[in-house]
Amino acid sequence: MSAVDAARQALDRITAYDAVQPQAWIARFSDEAVLAAAAEVDRRAAAGEVLPLAGLTFAVKDNIDLAGLPTTAACPAFAYSPGTSATVVARLLDAGAVAVGKTNLDQFATGLVGTRSPHGAPACVFNRDYVSGGSSSGSAVAVAAGLVDFALGTDTAGSGRVPAAFNGLVGFKPSRGRWSTQGLVPACRSLDCISVFTPDAALALRVDAVLADLDPGDDFSRPTRNVPLPARPRYGVPRVDQLNFLGDSESAALYRSALKRLDGDVVEVDIAPLLEAARLLYAGPFVAERTAAMKDLLARNATAVHPVVRAIVQAGAGLSAVEAYEGQYALAACARAAEAIWSAADVLVLPTTGTIYRIAEVLAEPFALNANLGLYTNFVNLLDLSAVAVPAGFRANGTGFGISLIAPAWTDAALLDLAGAFATTKPSPGRP
């Protein structure tokens, strides 16, 4: 169909779903502006331009600049109007994709739950008693509810993978520096990755083909490489004593079932170094990088920050340079110990999360339950790995369970190929 027809259908779906979850969005372009952008895509296509994403609609997490709409990071006091779009957004628009609007998030991308926003808490599309996951909550909901074809999120500690698991999506977190972070409000600038939510791995590959390129304007961008994986990879899984499903027997059963669908040898590995690295992200000095990203707002108007987010980032102000270096040494020790994993396995297969929580449960205990959801995600960027969250079934309550395929940096395209092969037999509860 034409880009205009596709955009019109997307706008109709968005209008209908606003009656269910308007809190998925923070700001949107007018219908007229979206249709005009789509008409321009049709004109460019008719003129013979090669547009690899022609007519696909997408949403942008509201900590990524999209010209024409304010960037707020879910904090109205922080809002600014960017003069240009982030590099990744500009590349998507150049490829013919049509931007619809900005999505809700855990404020300043600090959280894995989706409940830390003044705009409300987006919920799992299949059971709205449960969290959507965060911090890219609105982006996950927008794709899982079929409102847009794909959505950009971010992923520093799991924010692009946890919501994907809960909402039955593919959540692709590329290698650090593979996609530009120019135009991103930083959480931890040295670790941040922009991510994407898609219904399947094939579309994630198409997006990656557009975005994977060096950006000279981003100090953390790196020249792109594509490292292959064996045709029949060795899959590493944790020792039984290292699996923690937090009492969720359904998640445990779904994980065991997923392992049976892997096409390759499955070997047990010791993930203790990964779990230790994961603890460093918030329990160690690395939280100070979040403090650095927000220091001006904290000094000027600390009460504008969500109280849970504020409690987390203010803790970084008391950390010393000595503690920062000690954290780096501890991380280097974890990375060296983790080399044994990659000697035994090509791809690590973990539960994306051990369980899911109700919104009411997270509001009552916002710190510990959030930390539980990062058990198998927090270490990935610290150790310079690539990861893809893949749907792997649904609990009886309708919420999604997922596995994560994780491998060393630059195996991104190969991981997405594996994710596509695995997901061809995924169960589905139907449309939300």
Residues with catalytic function: 61, 135, 159
Q: What are phi and psi of 299, to 5 degrees?
A: -75, -35
Helix, coil or strand: residue 151: strand
DSSP β-bridge partners for residue 237: 268
Q: How far apart are CA 91 and CA 218, in angstroms?
A: 14
The dihedral of CA 326, 386, 178, 161: what is its sign? negative
The single-letter code of the amino acid at 314 is Q
Say how far apart CA 24 and CA 59 lie, in whole Å. 10
Bond from prior residue into 343 cis (ω within 30 degrees of 0): no
Count Cα neighbours of 261 within 13 Å in the Cβ-side half-sphere: 21
Q: Are 380 and 412 in contact (CB under 8 A)?
A: no
Write out the two tokens for 43.
Answer: 């004109």
Q: Which alpha helices (H) appear in 145-286, and where do they start and end?
A: 162-166, 201-211, 249-260, 272-283
**CA–CA distance, 138 with 197 (Å, rounded to integer):** 11
For residues 45 and 96, the answer to whether their CB atoms sit within 8 Å is yes
CB 213 within 8 A of CB 178: no
Evaluate whether 197 touches 139 at the Cβ level (below 8 Å): yes
